[in-house]
Amino acid sequence: MSSAKKRAIRERVDAIRKKSSPVQNHYIDEYSAGKIGRREFIRRSTLIGMSIPVAGFLAAACTTTEETTTTAAGQAATTTTAAAATTTTEEAMEPVTVRVGLAPPPAVGVEPVLINDEAGLGVFGQTAQYLIFSDDQLNLVPVLAESWEPNDTFDEWTFKLREGVMYNDGTPLTAADVVATFNGPIGSGNAGSAYGTYGITPGAAAEAVDDLTVKFTLAVPSGSFPFFVSSDNYNAGILPESFWQSYETGEEGAIGVYEQSFIGTGPWVNESYEPGVSAVYNKNPNYWGDNASQPDRMEVGFFGDEAAMVTAFQDGRLDVLYQLSATAGQQLADAGTATLSSVPTANHRQIYMDTRPGQPFGDKRVRQALALSLDRELLIKGLLGGFGVLGNDHPIWEFFPMYDAEAVPQRAVDLDAANALMADAGFADGFSAPLDTLQIQEVEDLAQLVQASAAQIGIDLSLNVTDSGTYYQDFWCSFPYEGPCQPGAVASVGIVNYGHRGVPNVYLSSPLRSGLDDPLDAQWNSSHWQNTDYDALYNQWVSAPDLDVQRQLSGEMQKILWDEVPLILPYFRDFISATVPDFTGLEVTGMGHYDVTQGSFSG
């Protein structure tokens, strides 16, 4: 590299650093010192508002080689997301329709405040968009927000909105819409737990500084706050202030208001929606992004039965299957009729036990025994077809940068140790308890295997499997979420699904915090577990901006959870999708977002 080019690179780095915040410069220093790798530097930089191209340039500049700079620039230039993908080199495509199959949204419908499943998100996310998109590499990508940055103490975050964004009814996006979204009713719905997790006071956190600037003031510092306003939060899709006014004052109630318009800033305009049957979309002619190569039409068919959906795909009636079980994915792969896409995710099943004193599972030795009865390798192979990774009874996924690989050994099946623990706890003759769960993908099969595993150590679990609506209403945390879970069964065991997140804040908070200071901290604590040492570690962890500190605190939490076992996490699941062989361009995330706007057929 010539000295002139090296000088030009140094001058650009200096210019960037002069404009960067102290926190951004801190991460540049960490990367330059070799404390974090390139991928983690880019991820952490996007978290605090640096663009991927700038972060990529800085990562390349540290090597001062022309080849690395070219690679970094190329990677930045080709980065795409389900919410903000652009294409500038493709020729305009012929009119095309993409046909998608997915499970139907639950009975509550496509309801912005209550969405808590991938199917509802799969419909909502076609017309509604988020301030930021959390991609499949755990990076944050600007969408409706062009930039964001914290103050020095991480308890204020300021977001600059993109200019010229229009909703699909022609009205402009403004800061008032963002304020109405986050200060409105979503704080009392499915996102209520996330509000507490990220230190947000519902109804008062967001403030419009001007028409295109929003400031959030947090009750406690949070180094991960941008994930709260990103696509990681199902309910954080930005909708007009006028929508929220009609939502709260609608004569027929809130439910169904969104389905009357499907208002949003996204690349699609809804043509029709028939609950449980279909949704049809047309290309948004006024979309703020570059959608020149977007297909003209998308037809979504809802299938309550996965086998029927797979049959429709094999019969040529569908082009894309949005989410599949491992069994169905393997069936299509074996038949050679599909191209499979498997995205590693933090999605997992939590096996919770009632840890309250006086109950059999109130003794941690019993919980440890049940954890030792499970053959996790067999579960991944048999239930997931290998599409997953081992869990170790804490929710810090091995791909999270704050994961401490050395904190605890991997738990494996050991029936002798399990039976010894049962005897030590006074249950050599075993006991009986109910096992409640919901019908979703492989969970019913998992419940049966948990039942069989428990029987080997004398625990007789009576299985109760219901539809998701009944389960969440009657056997898990009742809605609305007004306090800690109150499962009705004594000595209960249950299995619940937790979707993917870009950071583990939600996993580590509501299902595990004690709620002793504030009951809302424990809204999803189905095990009733309370540990003040864990609470203190979590409070330190959530506000720590330094990755080394976060990893050290994560390790301490991993040790407590591994020993206490309020929850058993046997595995983390991949997100599996399929397309017909001649269709390319489908993008999915572990959270459940899907995007066909960059898709095309080769035939």
- Categorize the per-residue pLDDT at 478 as very low, low, confident or very high, splitting at 50, 70 and 90: very low
Q: Residue ranges of the domains in the chain? A: 3-78, 99-264, 346-572
How many other C-beta atoms are found inside a 10 Å radius of the C-beta of residue 63?
Answer: 13
Residue range 250-274, pLDDT digits in tens: 544 566 789 989 999 999 999 999 9
Q: Please state which CATH number belongs to domain 346-572.
A: 3.10.105.10
Q: Which of 231-235, 296-300, 344-348, 521-525 has the highest average model confidence (pLDDT)?
A: 296-300
Using the 8-state DSSP alphabet, how is residue 187 labeled? G
- Categorize the per-residue pLDDT at 92 as very low, low, confident or very high, splitting at 50, 70 and 90: very low
User: What CATH superfamily is the domain 99-264?
Assistant: Dipeptide-binding Protein; Domain 1 (3.90.76.10)
Distance CA 411, CA 414 (A): 9
Provide the 3-class DSSP secondary structure of residue 327: helix
Using the 8-state DSSP alphabet, how is residue 166 labeled? B
Q: Give the residue from 182, 183, 194, 190 showing the smallest Cα distance to 145.
A: 182
Distance CA 260, CA 237 (A): 17
Q: Give the residue from 197, 169, 132, 129 showing the smallest Cα distance to 263.
A: 169
Query: Cβ(537)–Cβ(550) under 8 Å?
Result: no
Residue 197: per-residue pLDDT: 80
Instruction: Give the orientation angle of helix 52-61 with respect to helix 22-32, to 10 degrees.
Output: 40
Cβ within 8 Å of residue 175, ≥6 positions away? 161, 208, 209, 210, 211, 212, 213, 214
Residue range 321-341, pLDDT digits in tens: 988 888 898 889 888 889 998
Query: Cβ(112)–Cβ(235) under 8 Å?
Result: yes
Structure-token pair, residue 336: 């050679």
Residue 485: per-residue pLDDT: 60
What is the mean pLDDT of the segment spanning 423-452? 94
| pTM for this entry | 0.74
Amino acid present at 98: V
Residue 520: per-residue pLDDT: 73
- Categorize the per-residue pLDDT at 57 as very low, low, confident or very high, splitting at 50, 70 and 90: low
Question: How high is the mean pLDDT of the chain?
Answer: 85
Residue 247: per-residue pLDDT: 84
